[in-house]
Structure 1
Amino acid sequence: MLQPTPRRLTTVVAAIVGGLATDAAFPGLGLWPLAFVGVALLFLALGRDSARWNALIGFLFGLAFFLPHIAWAEYAVGPVPWFALSIAEAGFVGLFAAGWSWARRGAAIRHRAHLQVPTFAILWVGVEELRSVWPFGGFPWGRLAFSQADAVTARWAWAGGVPLLSAVVVVAGVCLALAVLAVRRLDLGTASGAVLVGLAVVGSGLLVPLDTRAEEGTLAVGAVQGNVPNRGLDSFAQEREVLENHVAGTERLADEVGSGTLDLVLWPENGSDVDPRVDEGARRAVDRAAQAVDAPVLVGTLEYPSTGGRYNVALLWDPQEGPLAAYAKQRPAAFAEYVPMREIARRFSDAVDRVRRDMLPGDEVGLVEVPSERLGRIVPIGVGICFEVAYDGIMREGVRAGAEIVVVPTNNATFGVTDESTQQLAMSRIRAIEHGRATVQVSTVGVSAVITPNGRVTRSTDLFTADTMVADLALRTGLTPATRYGDVVAWTFRALAVVVVVAGAAGAARLRREASAGRQRAAGPRATSRQPAVR
């Protein structure tokens, strides 16, 4: 199906409106159906044949999306890093648009609307996968799947994880775009068919089974949001006050539920930036908290090895024995927790020097084993610290290793009252569905929440308040299809994205050769008749 060539100005406007609409689908406004509208507008905006022009249009869509979507970066580190990151991520959307231009030039896709739908989705997910791993470990924020936590489509995360859910969103959006094109041709039959297919795709999530039942009993868990003295980058300058806030919150929790009634208490990332294993004052404070509730406490702290650098650690602290186990964050955030190419980066912003000591990556799976006297066994819990919740492999590996619940300790204090925290909560909800695990997001300042295995929030806190939560979490050991085969799904999309671009480019080249040969054959007799006679 050949799409009518839109005017350049029309494509620019459609791209910008599409990017803004897509951002509005995410937490903040949270109008999740607008994700389909945004994809549809991008599809229509890429109606011209020029790969260069379409790359520009994709870039504009990306800017219109990422600038508001990660505005929390401007609050945390200033306008230059925020704008630089938005430009970099918008560049990936430009790459996608160029790839789509090449892929659809093959005759098979160019003239068949039903092939354009999966091709557009495959390419989009392929580029989402690329920007999630590269450069510097990738930046998975803003994947379309994370806009769907409140939608019925979210259930598809159970079947194929974030890549499949993003693909479902794109398919529905392209169907909407094809319906618009059909209406313009006054082809109401095709338009209604495209709309029905899109609605069927969205509604198909209802067919995906989600089980929330406990398979291995329940774990009584408390979570402490201790709050911080100040907002922004200086919020942890008073690290001992932050520690005391979480000790006090734990003692209040013990007063509310009674000592010894909980199996585990969760503190957020940076709950104690003073390592209680090496600092006597911090040790006494954490001991006091753990002994008050008479339960192990998962403490967010920092470890400073003698060789330099630092580790971001989730440390399990027993009320009698002290430190039992620890997990070190595997994926520190580039330019926030460590600074690659520091000398070059400093030329653009001196904010890089706020990271005085680079964070080191941990090398073990996000799994902490919690002894439960009540259950009479060890309960493995999956841990993904802060931004790690956005990375498919890190969360999947923990559940594969045996995690029966998932915990996301995080620190959102540096982002103020922006949408960063609720965006992260949406990711945690998608992970709960993806792996069929009860999940707790626990933040220094909020939003903290308890999430059932089907992604429903049962308890949550407000931003910049001191609060606690208690819940009996279902312990589950069964593996969802996404947990078992998620890496296969991701690599399939990556491989198919390359295949469709190469196949489209090869098909277009073949068509050009055939057209050239046809012109030469047509010109042959005339050229021969004009040759002068040999004397």
Structure 2
Amino acid sequence: MSATITAVDTQPAPAASGSPLRRLIRPGAAALSGVLLFLSFPPRPLWWLAVPAFALLAWSLHGRRPRSAFGLGYLAGLGFLLPLLSWTGEDVGPVPWIALAAVEALFIALTALGIAVVTRLPLWPVLAAAVWILGEAARARFPFEGFPWGKVAFGQADGLFLPLAALGGTPVLGFAVVLCGFGLYETVRRGLEFRRTRALPRGPLAAALLSLLVPVTAALAALPLVDDSAEDGTATVAAIQGNVPRLGLDFNSQRRAVLDNHARRTEQLAEDVAAGRVAKPDFVLWPENSSDLDPYRNPDARQVIDDAVRAIGVPTAVGAVLTPETGKLSNTLIKWDPERGPVDTYHKRHVQPFGEYIPMRSFVRLFSSDVDRVRRDFGPGDKVGVFDLAGTKVGLVTCYEAAFDDMARDTVEAGAQMISVPSNNATFGRSEMTYQQLAMSQVRAVEHGRSVVVPVTSGVSAVIMPDGEIVQRTRMFTPDALVAEVPLRSSLTPATRLGVAPEIVLMAVAAGGLGWVAVGSARAWRRKRSAAG
């Protein structure tokens, strides 16, 4: 019992001593941990920086009081999210960018508070890593259906830990990285303690070493789960990148030019096929927003698409904006048959708040008039997207949806043999956004054991194998067409089969640790009251 009371002691900490500069060391370390975590994300191949980032965060938070931990966590959150999300201000200025980062950093601050209180418990690295995943789960769901951008797993697309995505999805992958970082700190801490005292219980040292080594061992053990064999044969797929007339939000005013660019590049591909320069694809994928002119309401747009699809002569998935007379707009993918025209649709299910629709419009307008560029809100669809394209079942995950765990998983469970992630990143110019999003598709490929093709209006378009390797990619803001033979698969990885279960288990572990602290604190408080009475 005494160990429990010590572990959850909540008496005020002694006043800090030393020079003012010395008092800045821990806050500076917290902010630096966030910066290191940012640097571990694409386009930099520095995935391993996430481990020392979490080791440094653990040093900042270990044994801290809740209020102090909240502030340190907020600094870490700003150090991470301000540079990571800088692309959100690419064309609308710094206010929306800073506001988003400031709000999202609150989740990291609350997570840091939870981490600090469980650091006083036995096996704290496991509990603290689970608390981090609990924080990510909350951020991915609230508010406005959540904002999962910046999950630790999305920085590991080229890393050692990536095979764990096939085992338990992004929660298990992220948990392993965080646990390894916390285990590194605890191992160093215990080592320094031994050096100082020449006495160290074997149990705590063993637990620290296991926290460091088990994630690495598990990642190596999960390698056999990463399989890129062609279980259902192969398909030759083409991804069209038509490009846009100019960068930024104003590209929307050039809707017809964007459509013409994609039609022209498709017709050029047809000429290349006829000349024998490239293989004829089984089907073609256009990006999101490749036709912002509704082909059901604009006969000229319909004719342009129809001519291009007939020229290539195979089914084509076309990204379009549908504009009904009343109600909300729809971000839609249309299955376009060369003989019959449009025959099926998928309406984007996760529409982007403050991008495709504006919550609290009158309030947000006080901070930025750019909200009025979105004159009419988009509404979400409610049907899982799987197109049968020339006999291949293609799962559809439109742009922003790739950040959400359930979006790709739904399509695979519905029979998808490969996945398409049509996107439109022209709004964000040459920022890191497109590389961050591409990494998500790499993680999804391994998570579900599927080839992923990413057609983007302005780049980077890519072809990704089921093992996460990018085998073809385009340059940004360059018209291009990728043609590749990809393996088709129908087996389900453990991550697909388990679904949300690993995340629930890790959240339960976190809740158990936090509950242990709460109960111990309540008992200690009652004991002190009884003694005082």
- Give the one of 198, 214, 219 matched to 2:212: 198
Aligned to 1:513: 526
On the 8 A contact 1:73/1:415 being kept in 2, the answer is yes
Deviation at 1:458, TM superposition (A): 0.4
Deviation at 1:217, TM superposition (A): 1.4
Aligned to 2:237: 221
- Give the one of 31, 36, 51 matched to 2:66: 51
Structure 2: distance between partners of 1:80 and 1:191: 47
Deviation at 1:330, TM superposition (A): 0.4
- Give the one of 16, 23, 26 matched to 1:11: 26
On the 8 A contact 1:180/1:191 being kept in 2, the answer is no
Aligned to 1:67: 82
Aligned to 1:177: 185
Deviation at 1:254, TM superposition (A): 1.5
Aligned to 2:462: 449
Q: Deviations over 1:279-304 (max 9, x none)?
A: 11111111111111110111010011
Residues 1:277 and 2:285 aligned together: no
Looking at CA atoms only, which structure, 1 or 2, has the larger radius of gyration?
Answer: 1
Aligned to 1:332: 351
On the 8 A contact 1:228/1:236 being kept in 2, the answer is no
Aligned to 1:342: 361
On the 8 A contact 1:408/1:439 being kept in 2, the answer is yes
Aligned to 1:386: 399
Identity %: 42
Aligned to 1:302: 321
Structure 2: distance between partners of 1:222 and 1:21: 37
Q: Deviations over 1:425-470 (max 9, x none)?
A: 0000000000000001110111111000010110011111111101
Structure 2: distance between partners of 1:310 and 1:221: 29
On the 8 A contact 2:134/2:507 being kept in 1, the answer is yes
Tell me which amino acid in the other structure corresponds to 1:408.
Answer: V
Q: How does 1:368-407 map to 2 (within 5 A)?
A: 368-370=387-389, 372=390, 378-407=391-420
Structure 2: distance between partners of 1:203 and 1:443: 37
On the 8 A contact 1:103/1:505 being kept in 2, the answer is no
Residues 1:207 and 2:226 aligned together: no
Q: How does 1:80-119 map to 2 (within 5 A)?
A: 80-104=95-119, 110-112=120-122, 115-119=123-127
Residues 1:487 and 2:500 aligned together: yes
On the 8 A contact 1:369/1:381 being kept in 2, the answer is yes
Aligned to 2:250: 234
Aligned to 1:416: 429
On the 8 A contact 1:232/1:416 being kept in 2, the answer is yes
Matched residue pairs, number? 507
- Give the one of 469, 482, 487 matched to 1:474: 487
- Give the one of 135, 138, 142 matched to 1:127: 135
Deviation at 1:200, TM superposition (A): 4.7
- DSSP-derived class of the 1:478 partner: coil
Aligned to 2:19: none
Tell me which amino acid in the other structure corresponds to 1:35.
Answer: A
Residues 1:434 and 2:434 aligned together: no
- Give the one of 472, 481, 484 matched to 1:459: 472
Deviation at 1:488, TM superposition (A): 1.4
Q: Give unmatched runs, 5+ long, in structure 1.
A: 105-109, 373-377, 525-535
Q: How does 1:258-277 map to 2 (within 5 A)?
A: 258=274, 261-277=280-296
On the 8 A contact 1:102/1:505 being kept in 2, the answer is no
Tell me which amino acid in the other structure corresponds to 1:262.
Answer: P
Aligned to 1:504: 517
Structure 2: distance between partners of 1:176 and 1:32: 16
Q: Deviations over 1:150-192 (max 9, x none)?
A: 0120110001000110000011000111123224324498779
Deviation at 1:203, TM superposition (A): 4.5
On the 8 A contact 1:153/1:203 being kept in 2, the answer is no
Structure 2: distance between partners of 1:493 and 1:182: 25
Deviation at 1:261, TM superposition (A): 2.5
Aligned to 1:149: 157
Structure 1: distance between partners of 2:67 and 2:104: 18
- Give the one of 19, 30, 48 matched to 1:33: 48
Aligned to 2:10: none
On the 8 A contact 2:351/2:357 being kept in 1, the answer is yes
Q: C-alpha root-mean-square deviation of aligned residues, in Å?
A: 2.2
TM-score (norm 2): 0.91
On the 8 A contact 2:42/2:432 being kept in 1, the answer is yes
Structure 1: distance between partners of 2:345 and 2:256: 21
